Chain A
Amino acid sequence: MASSKRTNRLSWLFPWTQTDTKMDHEQATFWLSQFIGKNLRIHATDGRVFGGQMKCTDKDRNIILAMAHEYRAPPIETIRKAIEESGNPSTPVPWNSRYVGLIVVPGQHIKKIEFEESTYQMSNVTL
């Protein structure tokens, strides 16, 4: 992880690598840059979900989110208790959330990426 972080940080220093003009690569860049400033939900391997504005990504699929919140499922006991109390196996239980600000989710810890389409403005994102 440390090494991936290092290349990630160092890559800021090598902007000339961007001059390559392979078609496929250009498409990828275009497609990814659509998500800049858009809300993404990233599911981490430990089950937490992070929602925030995408700021940056790279080849290793490291993603930087700004103004992110962390969402965490409540512990099993709490869920069990809620089910017992209500008798309904699909009873709603609130998730815990908190503000965590600017975060980077390393690529290897990402299980799933979701794009959250804004409802009150056209997002013009080609999926």
Chain B
Amino acid sequence: MADASLRHSTASAQDQNTILTNNESGCSKAQEQPLRHPLGGITPKIHDVTEKFTKACNALEVGQLVKDDYFTLFESIGAIEIMDPKMDSGFLQPGETLEDDYDCLTPLLPEELIGIMDQLLCYEMAWHTGYPLSQTLFTSLYIDKLLWPETRILERAQFYRGDIPDDKRPGPLLQVLRAYCLALIKGCDFVIAKIAARDYFEEEDFCTQTYNRVLFVSIPMDVFLRELDSAMEVVEDESLEINTALRSAIHSRLEFRKDFLRAQDLDLPLDLISYSWPTILENLGTLKNTHQLGQVVPGAFSTKMQRRLASTVPPRPIVELEFKDALEKLQQLCTDCKEATRFISLPQDPLEYQSFLWFFASRSPAPLAYSRSYLATLLFHPDVLQTSVSLPLSDVKTLVFPASPVLDPVNWTFSPPRNPMLPKPPRLQLAMLVDEFVDRCGQPYLDLWVALGQNRCRLRRMLTHVITGWDMLQADASSVDADISQAAEELGITDQVLEFSLSTWVYHKKLWMIEKIILLGFEQDIYLPDEFSGMYLFLSLIATRRKELLKRVEAHYLRRGEQLLKSRNLRDAQEVDDAGPYLDSLLAEAEGVASLSLALARFYIILLYLHMLPLPKRPFAKEELRYELRMKPFLSLQPPEAPPFEDFKAHTQPYGDFAAPDPAFQLDLNDMASDLWTEVDRHLKAAKEAFADVKKMGPKAVKAEGVATAWNKDVQSALASCIALGVAVAGVKGAVSKTNAASSESLGIKVVIPESGAGKRYAEGWIVAKILKME
């Protein structure tokens, strides 16, 4: 980009020098004139080689290419074909003119002014949803006039350039429009700066391309605010003859623009940011109610503008977004940003941050790229992250080291022996090992947070990469653990330290991420209905592993608490006790996930045997390969998470092939006391109880106090999914017991899989089929 603009800036200098000579007919002789003036004013020699070139080309073989050795087929595909109307944005249809006839200095009616302002807002929001500026705001002739030819002095950024007669000077309403446009452009500059400054962003979400137009980067914000203020004065002025309703409509638009620009300001101090979004939200109603006063000015926008932009892409149509939808997007953007500002007032705890990030990403509709960058900027703001303890360490401490001698501050006070050959004191060793580990886990920890700041689809994809990082971290952690236990042994405190504490913490986090990956897969409809049983079974396996891991930690807590009580160390005993609720709620949650997914898996297995789920024909697919594909992100993990295919098959198809099940299936199906049915009910009951426990313990225990509302809703929806599953199971059971038949046709029921994202699921990740009676 940098060198593209460099190239272009030389080009624009050239055309100042480019000279065109005219004769009467207006035809140019300019081809004879140099197009480029190199430095020093020496004219390059130009040779007409047309004839010889043509001859030489003719002498080439068919299919032969004379080309740069480094120029590849891949590159050539990106070339724009000149004179092809679909690719060449500069191509003119016969009779078409390059420029539009629209005159930006024609006086505007107040209604037209409102129309243009609202149209600009529509394009601004279309840009926010991911379309490039060339298809949105840059189609505005007014904006083009302000930005091109480029000027560094704001007074010269007018709808005209140079001197014009006084009678043609823009009237008051055009001045108002100019102020509005200038503030809008500066706002875009802020948006681009904020999004591009993030560690990780992809062009697929947002287009930062400005086509070599400079969006007043170097001009400070207060200048734009002053322009808006004077525009407001113009509107308020009594001498301006205008209908009151229109006057206030224009005024509120300027007001909105001012608030919005200030909210987007990059240098807004942290203690002020929470005040900036509510005012905008209050103003939105006025914009909505006065929109019908406006009058559309179609000529003010044109696709032809794209011909003037430095563009290496084919021409594309203008993106039309309805005003109603644009306002909705705007409202969403402001609400999300308002929510994000709450981040700075969270308790300083990495787990609180993690919950906040998770629930922010789960917001529906999904936050726009700008809102996500807005939160990420706050997250990585130096003033926010300034804590006395390193964040990963405090995370580790919460789970595995409450009141642990490993983190005793005394350890950090020892100095190494003068003779480097002598062994270091074991307490110092502990401190150094912990420091080393904290250093080591900085990057994987950051990766997790960066992933949590992405949109949901990318979050799932990125998590699959993040877990491999954590997998390596786990291997390193276990070697640190070995050293820690050795040092603990020297100190004689082995019983006070949880065995493999660091790797336990890493493993727990990794398993948590795997669960999220699978649940996100369900949420995003990655799996087909006939795969539900297998994937829920896998989820249950992972969650059970996490539960077992947490049980080990719990046992350690109990032992440690007892030790401390016995030794009358009440303060530390209290600390262990305080860590209890967090562990308990993690345990209950893991239990809930494990049980609910197992219940769902078993339920879907029954449906599969009853032929009630669509089973697509896959003439070229092998079950084994499909399984490998699903497990791909987890295959490299250590310890291995994905079970061997044979195991998996034995568990997902306990009665053999779905098409021809074992006769035992029929017996079990009709016997309501068989494992087939009781297992579902048992796990469902366990899940309900577990989620109810989680709910009772509340958001404080799980360290999601900052997002209590969203958290409560989340737990509630898991509970609702349990209930829905209960209903569905009862539905199938009833139908089976009534008919004693084994095929769906005769059961008189049908299965409906609720769609994702349509509000038809209680929880997006928990897909509970609905059982409907057939008429």
Contact = CB atoms under 8 A, between A and B. Distances in A.
Note whether A and B form a binding pair. Answer: yes
Interface of A: 1, 5, 7, 9-12, 14, 17-18, 20, 24-25, 27-29, 31-33, 36-37, 41, 43-46, 48-51, 55-61, 64, 66-67, 69-76, 79-80, 82-83, 89-107, 109-120, 127
B53 A79 contact: no
B44 A116 contact: yes
Nearest 3 A/B pairs, CB to CB: A101-B312, A28-B59, A11-B63
Nearest to B5: A99
A75 B98 contact: yes
Interface string B64-105: 111110010101101111111000001110000111000000
Given A94-B15, A102-B78, 13 more contacts: A28-B55, A37-B68, A48-B90, A50-B82, A59-B58, A75-B97, A94-B20, A98-B212, A99-B212, A100-B80, A105-B83, A120-B38, A127-B47
Nearest to A107: B57
Nearest to A40: B49
A29 B64 contact: yes
Contacts of B15: 71, 94-97
B36 interface: yes
A56 B56 contact: no
Given A29-B66, A56-B66, A114-B46, A103 B80 contact: yes
Contacts of B311: 98-100
B303 to A, nearest CB: 15
Nearest to A57: B66
A41 B46 CA distance: 9
Contact of B63 (A10, A66, A117): A10
Given A5-B81, A50-B82, A112-B31, A69 B65 contact: no
B7 interface: yes
Nearest to B71: A55
B62 interface: yes
Interface in B1-33: 4, 7-8, 11-12, 14-16, 18-24, 26, 28, 30-31
A60 B7 contact: no
A89 B22 contact: yes
A103 B79 contact: yes
A60 B80 contact: no
B196 to A, nearest CB: 20
Nearest to B72: A12
Contacts of B73: 12
B44 A118 contact: yes
A85 to B, nearest CB: 12
Contacts of B7: 67, 99
Given A28-B57, A58-B57, A93-B20, A70 B90 contact: yes
7 contacts: A11-B62, A28-B59, A37-B68, A59-B57, A64-B79, A116-B36, A119-B45
A61 B50 CA distance: 10
B775 interface: no
B61 interface: yes
A32 B56 contact: yes
A106 to B, nearest CB: 6
A61 B57 contact: yes
B35 interface: yes
A29 B97 CA distance: 40
B222 interface: no
Contacts of B14: 97
B418 interface: no
A17 B36 contact: no
A9 B15 CA distance: 34
B90 A64 contact: no
Interface in B93-131: 97-99
Nearest to B26: A76
Contacts of A91: 22
A25 B61 contact: yes
Given A89-B22, A118-B44, A25 B60 contact: yes
Contacts of A114: 46-50
Contact of B83 (A36, A55, A106): A106
A116 B67 contact: no
Nearest to B99: A75
A76 to B, nearest CB: 4
B22 A113 contact: no
Contacts of B92: 46
Contacts of A56: 65-68, 71, 76
B54 interface: yes
Nearest to B307: A98
B31 A95 contact: no
Nearest to B55: A28
B47 to A, nearest CB: 5
B428 interface: no
B552 interface: no
Tell me the interface secondary structure of chain A in the complex.
Answer: mixed
B61 A18 contact: yes
B629 to A, nearest CB: 32
B79 A25 contact: no
B79 A57 contact: no
Contact of B18 (A70, A71, A117, A120): A71
A83 B308 CA distance: 24
B586 interface: no
Nearest to A23: B59
Nearest to A74: B20
B83 A44 contact: yes
A127 B62 CA distance: 24
Contacts of A51: 35-36
Contacts of B16: 94
Contact of B30 (A27, A73, A101, A113): A73
Nearest to A93: B20
A98 B308 contact: yes
A67 B311 CA distance: 11
A27 B59 CA distance: 9
Given A58-B65, A115-B47, A97 B31 contact: no
Contact of B67 (A7, A55, A100, A101): A55
Nearest to B92: A46
A10 B73 CA distance: 10
Contacts of B55: 28
B310 interface: yes
Contacts of A103: 79-82
A64 B65 CA distance: 11
Contact of A31 (B20, B56, B61): B56
B20 A64 contact: no
B57 A60 contact: yes
B506 to A, nearest CB: 47
Contacts of B46: 41, 114-117
B80 A104 contact: yes
A17 B63 contact: yes
Contacts of B21: 90, 92
A115 B45 CA distance: 8
B18 A97 contact: yes
Contacts of A73: 20, 28, 30
Contacts of A120: 38
A55 to B, nearest CB: 5
A115 B49 contact: yes
A46 B63 contact: no
A17 B311 CA distance: 36
B47 A99 contact: no
B523 to A, nearest CB: 40
Contacts of B76: 9, 12, 55-56, 64, 102, 104
B52 interface: yes
Contacts of B56: 27-28, 31-32
B42 interface: yes
B20 A100 contact: no
B84 A1 contact: yes
B90 A92 contact: no
Contacts of B78: 102
B749 interface: no
B309 interface: yes
A68 B23 CA distance: 28
B45 A33 contact: no
Nearest to B81: A104
